[in-house]
Amino acid sequence: MFDPGKLPVEVVQILDENGNGDERQLAAFSDEWLLRAYREMRRARVIDERLLRMQRQGRIGTYAPFSGQEAAQIGSALALHKDDWIFPSYREVAVCLMHGMPLEQFFHYVQGRLSGKRMPEGVNIFPTQIIIAAQTLHAVGCAWASKLKGEPHVSVAYFGDGATSEGDFHEAMNFAAVYNVPVIFFCQNNQYAISVPYRKQTASRTIAQKALAYGMKGVLVDGNDVLAVYETMKQAVEAARRGEGPMLIEALTYRLGPHTTADDPTKYRRPEEVETWRAKDPLRRLRLLLERRGLWTEAQEDALVAQVNDEVTAAYEAAIASKSGSIVDAFDCVYSEAPKLLAEQKDEVMRRKQRSGVR
């Protein structure tokens, strides 16, 4: 009799929740790498906490917190090259910052400005996708283009567990495998799609095993272990770059806060559940390792937090002091060369603005 629980799915962990691991595996990571990973995760946590408070103060718009998912985001981003492409959903703030998005620009985005997702030249990040799973198809298209052009770039689609219930996800997986394109599907399984728990999403024991049906490799990794995430992502990216095709990575993690600032997670989650996962905090486990090695102190922690808070304040103040843009800018955000009809519409809007005296 068929037993889906016995499907071969690799599970990867290097650092457990108490900061312990096999010394032979840990030896592959230099002190410098470990410190950088921790600093980037701590920076991300400070930024996330500040953004959540700023939304509550009415200083920015709706926001999707990511605290608890720093290892999944930072670990995977550290494995990418600058020229690789990422296709984020609304929760990948840490990934985008790691890949070159200026923090000031993110403030433009959460203030509703068109400039918020117009990436600087050379920053290979597609605009944030709000439609669940749509970015998976975009990533496949970009990867196919890279393959056809002979470019060594890898595309990465970031999404949550809820996205795997969408048709776009399955179409993208099938297309990617059939055409053997260099794309990584990176699922942050944070246990909930808004208020819908994982057990009501799918009968599969894991999301990673869904890859088998499409003829690609699926890997289940401890998403709160930045070392394991990095190693898993590095192997996937290198394989894709060699032309060995796509891979699905499921990073098992947890969203400590609300789905967005419009959500109240206490309506559908028990406090005991949250505390169980809080003990698996990705920052805590790496900090324990650093402290045991004498690489991190409370003074260093305080200095880093203060530095990042200053960075957030400066980026916010620069954003609100900058020009907010105009409706005319909307015509320049879709096509590299505007079609005739769109150009005519832009001209008409500009004439009306001139007649009305509106800037």
Looking from the CA of 259 toward its CB, the CA atoms found within 13 Å total 19
Residue 7 confidence (pLDDT):
61
pLDDT at 358 (0 to 100): 57
Residue 254 catalytic?
A: no
Mean pLDDT across 291-302: 97
Q: Give the amino acid at 321.
A: A
Give the predicted TM-score (pTM) of the model.
Answer: 0.93
What are the structural domain ranges in the chain? 4-324, 326-359
The yes-or-no answer on residue 81 being catalytic is: no
> What tens digit of pLDDT does each residue of 181-195 get?
999 999 999 999 999
Mean pLDDT rounded to a whole number for the chain? 94
**Average pLDDT value for residue range 334-347:** 89
Q: Residue 6's pLDDT is what?
A: 62
Q: Which of 213, 212, 252, 215 is nearest to 232 (CA)?
A: 252
pLDDT computed for residue 112 by the predictor: 85
pLDDT at 71: 98
- pLDDT tens string 67-100: 999 999 999 999 999 999 999 999 999 999 999 9
- Bridge partner residues of 184 (DSSP): 156, 247
Tell me which of 42, 50, 108, 259 is the catalytic residue: 259
Please report the pLDDT score of residue 196 as a whole number: 96
Residue 284: per-residue pLDDT:
97
DSSP H helices, the chain, are 23-26, 31-56, 70-78, 93-98, 103-110, 134-149, 167-178, 226-241, 271-278, 282-292, 298-321, 340-356
Q: Which fold is adopted by the domain 4-324?
A: Rossmann fold (3.40.50)
Determine the distance from the C-alpha atom of residue 273 to the mean position of all C-alpha atoms in its chain, rounded to a whole number. Answer: 23
Catalytic residue among 268, 293, 351, 352: 268
**Residue 11 pLDDT:** 82
Residue in the block written with tokens 């150009």:
343
Q: Which of 65, 323, 335, 88 is nearest to 187 (CA)?
A: 88
Cβ pair 258, 101 in contact under 8 A: no
What is the tens place of the pLDDT at every residue in 158-216? 999 999 999 999 999 999 999 999 999 999 999 999 999 999 999 999 999 999 999 99
**In the predicted model, what is the mean pLDDT of residues 320-348?**
86
CB-based contact 99:130 (threshold 8 Å): no
The single residue of 42, 45, 255, 285 carrying the catalytic annotation is 255
| Predicted pLDDT of residue 118 | 84
Q: Is 255 a catalytic residue?
A: yes
Confidence at residue 260, expressed as pLDDT on a 0 to 100 scale:
96
Please report the pLDDT score of residue 324 as a whole number.
Answer: 74
pLDDT confidence of 333, banded at 50, 70, 90? Answer: confident
